[in-house]
Chains A and B, each alone.
Chain A
Amino acid sequence: MLAAVSAVQRPTDAKLLVVNCEKEIIHVPRTAFVDLLQPNDLVIANDAATLPASLSGVHQQTGRRIEVRLAGRPSLNPMDVSRFSAVVFGEGDFHTRTEDRPLPPALQSGDMLLLGPLRATVAQVLGHPRLVSLHFAGSADEVWAGLARHGRPIQYSHLQTGLEMWDVWTRIAGLPVAFEPPSAGFVLDWHVLATIREHGAAFATITHAAGISSTGDEDLDRLLPFDEPYQIPDATVRAVRHTRHQGGRIIAVGTTVVRALEDAATADGQLRSCAGLAKGKIGPSTRLRVVDAILSGTHEPGTSHYELLRAFVEDSTLERATNELSTHHYKTHEFGDSVLIASCKSC
């Protein structure tokens, strides 16, 4: 697949590959997504806003330049912003592919990282020279102000220009807890939400701290996704219940929504409003309890996102879809085209 190189959230020529209940593959303009909804369907998206999680700075002990990418947090509590897990790169910026970025200087617990107005201590090195837990100095408001003034969105080497905050916040972005954008939600804008309602379908949200999608380091990428905190509001639980009662489908916008909903579901498929920590990986052996279909970006085999799609349909169908994405010149990555995949059990 080709990389989408422009940071346009809703390109007018965006494409959508649909795998329907009969495992047929059809191609439609992505703007036709709403026309595929049926009355009583429920569309659920991740309304997390994206943090400026890339912090450039200096490793105080060696004086060497580093880039810290915040990657995880134990909770969504707004006042609990002193502790993060993070991936640290050596000098350089996003023009270099992450695969080619040098290691940071050897980090040890107690090392001080000077990140613009922010000061962070390495609390622990987490079994990999790039992966650490950090402790930020100062009050919660000081950390938020430091992130706001100094942080930048995590950048991608395949894009032509640097990303600004307005490039990565979805239209529905609310609580700033994601480390990279929940980019499947780029499909949505306020007009689309109005059209969903006009079709007799409904819209709800979860908030999930989407983590980093890849680090460029094979060993680290095998650990992805890291544990991700999420919360599911009462209103969404009620909407899911209502939808099931009416015989509608639950359509998740993005892998993070699947992760949160399936993590929160009990063994018999009941959902409760809660704050949780999504730990498990979703893959071919996962039995989906809540979600009937996923609207997502296009994903390459081998990634954790692709593994999650294997929970929806068997491998032979996914392989056909992957081939079609390639032959129809679909674009991949955050600002690329999309897929809509119905799970076998929803038919």
Chain B
Amino acid sequence: MTISSTLRQQEPGAPLHTISKDPFSGLRVAITGGTSGLGLALVRELSRRGARVAFVARTRERVEQVAQENSGTHGIVGDVAAKNDIYPIALQITGELGGLDVLINNASDLGPTPLAMLSDTECEDLERAFATNVFGPFRLTKALMGALAASAREGRGAVVLNISSDAAINAYPGWGAYGSSKAALNHLSRIWNEEHAVENVRFLSLDPGDMDTPMHAAAIPDADPATLKRPEKSAHELAEAIAAVLPGVNASEDVVELMQ
């Protein structure tokens, strides 16, 4: 899986005719779980490329810190697993960005840590994984569907990226709560994509790979970070996959490979 990183880079000093506008320039993007790991890498990648980014996370101090470090981004404090947080989050996203073009449901819960066999998994841990990985994205996407469809009607494109995992496909012992919830999210994505294709709202479910993130460290504490993917690399690949389904950009072979 390789994606060229040179195609749409803007070079300030280059002659005018070689500058192509970054497809994320001016795009309104919301990212959940935006203060660590892949989410943080996505906030940095997309805001660097000119997107107007709102990100959501639970801890106020972290949200304020990340917003300060990435000027122009909008930090929103909220928990996608909490039903009563969804509309306040949706209001701030659409209010602060003036609409929405891209939603990235990235916030995820691993289930029990350390990982446990399903028969040893507490119901509460399973429920928390589903609340974050399934019901949160379901509720937030539903609340934001009007804004996304409006963007599609206006020809700006509308994309929902749900962060998936190879654990959504393969039956890895110990990954029951995470894997089954990501499998459910994967299937939601496929059905949403069928149902809203006519409105030109596209749904992607993509596996970013095994990355050197706090979540991976919680799952496999003794993994050698050198063998893991940098979240910045995954963020860049995911951005390219989104760009490929925006209006006026053709999907490349690379991106098709990424999709499950």
Residue ranges of A at the interface with B (Cβ–Cβ < 8 Å) = 47, 49, 51-52, 77-79, 81, 140-141, 144-145, 147-149, 164-166, 169-176, 190, 193-194, 197, 204-205, 207, 233-235
B204 to chain A, nearest CB (A): 20
Asked if B26 is an interface residue, CB under 8 A from chain A, the answer is no
Task: Give the contacting residue for B97; candidates A49, A78, A149, A234; CB below 8 A.
Answer: A78
The residue in chain A whose Cβ has the minimal distance to the Cβ of B144 is A174
B52 to chain A, nearest CB (A): 10
| CB atoms of B91 and A172 under 8 A apart | no
| CB atoms of B94 and A175 under 8 A apart | yes
Residues of chain A within 8 A of B199, CB atoms compared: 193
Asked if B77 is an interface residue, CB under 8 A from chain A, the answer is yes
Q: Give Cα A18–Cα B96 distance, bound, in whole angstroms.
A: 40
**Binary contact readout B157-171 vs A (1 if CB under 8 angstroms, 0 otherwise):** 000000000000000
Q: Give Cα A51–Cα B76 distance, bound, in whole angstroms.
A: 17
The residue in chain A whose Cβ has the minimal distance to the Cβ of B95 is A144
**Contact A165 to B146, CB < 8 A, known contacts A78-B97, A197-B198:** no
The listed residue with most B CB atoms (<10 A of its CB), out of A77, A81, A145, A171, is A145
**Contact A145 to B76, CB < 8 A, known contacts A172-B146, A174-B147, A176-B94:** yes
B167 to chain A, nearest CB (A): 30
Residues of chain B within 8 A of A51, CB atoms compared: 91
Task: Give the contacting residue for B198; candidates A77, A175, A194, A235; CB below 8 A.
Answer: A194
**Contact A165 to B87, CB < 8 A, known contacts A49-B94, A141-B96, A145-B92:** yes
| CB atoms of B155 and A235 under 8 A apart | yes
Asked if B99 is an interface residue, CB under 8 A from chain A, the answer is yes
Instruction: Please report whether the interface of chain B is mostly helix, strand, loop or mixed according to DSSP.
Output: helix
Instruction: Please report whether the interface of chain A is mostly helix, strand, loop or mixed according to DSSP.
Output: mixed
A-B contact pairs, 7 of them (CB 8 A): A78-B98, A141-B92, A148-B91, A173-B147, A175-B94, A175-B147, A176-B94
Asked if B134 is an interface residue, CB under 8 A from chain A, the answer is no
Contact residues of B between 102 and 128, Cβ < 8 Å to A:
none
| CB atoms of B91 and A233 under 8 A apart | no
Residue ranges of B at the interface with A (Cβ–Cβ < 8 Å) = 74-77, 87-89, 91-92, 94-100, 143, 145-147, 149-150, 153-155, 195-196, 198-199
| CB atoms of B146 and A174 under 8 A apart | yes
Q: Give Cα A147–Cα B198 distance, bound, in whole angstroms.
A: 34
**Contact A173 to B76, CB < 8 A, known contacts A52-B91, A78-B97, A166-B87:** no
The residue in chain A whose Cβ has the minimal distance to the Cβ of B143 is A169
| CB atoms of A205 and B153 under 8 A apart | yes
Residues of chain B within 8 A of A176, CB atoms compared: 91, 94-95
**Contact A149 to B94, CB < 8 A, known contacts A172-B149, A175-B150, A204-B153:** no
Residues of chain A within 8 A of B89, CB atoms compared: 148
| CB atoms of B91 and A165 under 8 A apart | yes
The residue in chain A whose Cβ has the minimal distance to the Cβ of B147 is A174
Task: Give the contacting residue for B91; candidates A144, A194, A197, A205; CB below 8 A.
Answer: A144
B220 to chain A, nearest CB (A): 37
Q: Give Cα A148–Cα B74 distance, bound, in whole angstroms.
A: 14
B188 to chain A, nearest CB (A): 15
Task: Give the contacting residue for A190; candidates B87, B94, B150, B195; CB below 8 A.
Answer: B195
Task: Give the contacting residue for A235; candidates B75, B96, B154; CB below 8 A.
Answer: B154
Given A166-B87, A175-B150, 11 further pairs, Cβ under 8 A: A47-B150, A49-B94, A78-B96, A79-B98, A148-B92, A170-B146, A174-B146, A176-B95, A207-B150, A233-B154, A235-B155
Residues of chain A within 8 A of B198, CB atoms compared: 194, 197
B256 to chain A, nearest CB (A): 27
| CB atoms of A169 and B147 under 8 A apart | no
Q: Give Cα A312–Cα B147 distance, bound, in whole angstroms.
A: 31
| CB atoms of B145 and A149 under 8 A apart | no
Residues of chain B within 8 A of A144, CB atoms compared: 91-92, 95-96
